[in-house]
Amino acid sequence: MTTSILDAHVHLWDADRHPLSWWRPALGLPRRAALGELRRVTVAAPAPIAGAIAVQAADTVQEAEWLTSSAALGSFIRAVVLQYDARADAAAWAGMAQSVIDRIDAGDLRARVAGVRLATPAGAVDLADVPRLDDLAAGLSASNRVLELLLRAEQLPAAAALAARHPGLRIVLCHLGIGGDDPGDDWRSALAAFAEQPATAAKVSGLVRSGPAETERLRAAVGHAVEVFGAGRVMFGSDWPVSARFAGYREVVERTDAALPRLTDAERREFWADTAARVYELPSRG
């Protein structure tokens, strides 16, 4: 590899300080995923790491404040994406994340909140069970922030409809809406329809798994994503430390690189760094 990497999808957490509702020992994940450990593992990458975007792993205000404070400790975390939970504040368009966003906008916190993630892979196919979804979309659009979606393939048509209702909103699909599943025909057509909305983009993240058919599955999923979005609307994300259950950081990068279709040098720079910097509107480093 000859280009630097901006990792668009990492997680930081400390389950002893801020419990994660989904964490359990059987997952094989550490109780603490610290910034220092992320810096250590990225040193092994086959190209320089220019920074990362941290996506909140829990759904509480306290953990969101901890994440933004951790991100503010240095320049490696370029931005954070907070989770959406309407139960925390039913009157706020950003739900749980609203108070942290307000403090950052007021200058009380230093970190940059570039967006909010809606994680609803277990929800209704039509997203009808997401409270105030259009208010969230409108609020993000008005504040020039990104909506991230963690969905399953069956929910992609609803995501496309949401994008059509809010054409000015940048929407980023996590894990291509497929994760470790096989790229079947239904997913292919649904992803293509989602990609027809011009303000959408997708993360090639959370896809690396183990198994004899892994190489071909990964190549098929990544190739289709590049085909329907174009190289300028797909971006790399490691999904560290969740990805470490299947492969080390260097291997995740190398297997993703091997799965890419033939790209020009400019397209490779977009995939590995420039797309994420543009979509999340990260300030340039002088």
The answer, yes or no, to whether residue 286 has pLDDT greater than 90, is no
Poorest-pLDDT segment among 61-65, 102-106, 116-120, 181-185: 102-106
Query: What local confidence, expressed as pLDDT, does residue 265 receive?
Result: 95
Dihedral angle of Cα 175, 125, 93, 132, to the nearest 10 degrees: 180
Among the listed residues 132, 148, 191, 138, the one whose alpha carbon sits nearest the alpha carbon of residue 168: 138
Query: What local confidence, expressed as pLDDT, does residue 107 receive?
Result: 83
Query: What local confidence, expressed as pLDDT, does residue 2 receive?
Result: 67
Query: What local confidence, expressed as pLDDT, does residue 90 receive?
Result: 66
What would the pLDDT profile of 78-124 be if each residue is shown by its tens digit? 999 999 998 766 678 999 999 999 988 888 877 889 999 999 999 99
Q: How far is CA 161 from CA 53, 164, 199, in A?
A: 26, 5, 12
Of the pLDDT bands very low, low, confident and very high (cuts 50, 70, 90), residue 285 is low
Query: What local confidence, expressed as pLDDT, does residue 89 receive?
Result: 66
The answer, yes or no, to whether residue 139 has pLDDT greater than 60, is yes
The answer, yes or no, to whether residue 186 has pLDDT greater than 70, is yes
Of the pLDDT bands very low, low, confident and very high (cuts 50, 70, 90), residue 220 is very high
> What distance in Å separates the CA atoms of residue 116 and residue 99, rounded to the nearest whole number?
13
Q: Give me 252's structure tokens.
A: 């995740």
> What distance in Å separates the CA atoms of residue 97 and residue 82, rounded to the nearest whole number?
6
How much is the average pLDDT of 170-196? 96
How much is the average pLDDT of 153-176? 98
